[in-house]
Amino acid sequence: MLLMGYKKNMPRRPRPQEAKRSEHWLRVMVHEHSDLLDTAIAEAFGWRDTVIVWRSPRKDDDYAEYYDEAFLDRLGVDGLAMPLDEFWPKSGPRWDGLARTKDGKLILVEAKAHIDEAVDFRSKASTNSLSRIEKRLDEAKAAFHASKDACWHMPFYQIANRLAHLYYLAGINKKDAYLVFINFANAPDVPEPASFEEWRGAVRLAHRCLGLKDSRLARRVTTIIVDLKNGKGQPSADELRRPSS
């Protein structure tokens, strides 16, 4: 099934009905425990009386993942000062989740259940595309006021390119956008489940390697660790949302 208005070559990727790891657990949280997840997100950013509407993953939308201009369309984003294809090459980040609040806040989600997947050494883009990606990563690093010696090209490239897209929306285009990393602790379907404390340590290490500090953009980023040890999602907002100087 295709959404009206979407063509086969559009950057929307329908997903299988059955999924594993973070893809499965994010579906569980969005469809079965959205009240817990929404509360954790709202509390992390200090929002009051906020209603979050999930645009993906959705069962009635083939659990589709969105990327490139399609993720902006899915969020209802318009009036951009810079088009996305000017900022980043085609085939950009596949967003695990997308949501929008009733008052217009945009929420981008990256989910992980296997701690080893947090390491991504570099983009596999072509030479020409890679040059533009590295330029944008350096711009984003400066906008986040990250340490000058920190490398955003590796080994946390995937985290860095998500941060860069937040910079694109909230920094360049002045949209009320936020980025949420959701990590699943004690996931039973990964080779080596990581505990809540192990995930928290990994987040601290990633922040340190990326040179993140408290900044206007960093306040738009949070990490939520969902502990699955009791077989039920129990979200808890990570205290490292705002890295110290």
Residue 43 structural domain: 19-241
Tell me the one-letter amino acid at 237. Answer: A
With respect to residue 132, please indicate whether it lies within any of the assigned structural domains: yes
With respect to residue 6, please indicate whether it lies within any of the assigned structural domains: no
Q: Which of 103, 99, 101, 121 is nearest to 111 (CA)?
A: 99
With respect to residue 103, please indicate whether it lies within any of the assigned structural domains: yes
Integer Cα distance of 81 and 215 in angstroms? 22
Whether the predicted pLDDT of 234 surpasses 70: no
With respect to residue 96, please indicate whether it lies within any of the assigned structural domains: yes
* Structural domains in the chain (count): 1
- Strand, helix or coil for residue 54: strand
User: Could you write out the three-class secondary structure of 64-123?
Assistant: CEECCHHHHHHHCCCCCCCCHHHHCCCCCCCECEEEEECCCCEEEEEEECCHHHHCECCC
pLDDT in tens, 2-47: 334 444 446 999 999 999 999 999 999 999 999 999 999 999 999 9
pLDDT in tens, 36-88: 999 999 999 999 999 999 999 999 999 999 999 999 999 999 999 999 999 99
With respect to residue 229, please indicate whether it lies within any of the assigned structural domains: yes
Question: What pTM was estimated for this model as a whole?
Answer: 0.91
With respect to residue 13, please indicate whether it lies within any of the assigned structural domains: no
With respect to residue 34, please indicate whether it lies within any of the assigned structural domains: yes
Other C-beta atoms lying within 10 Å of the C-beta of residue 179: 23
Whether the predicted pLDDT of 109 surpasses 90: yes
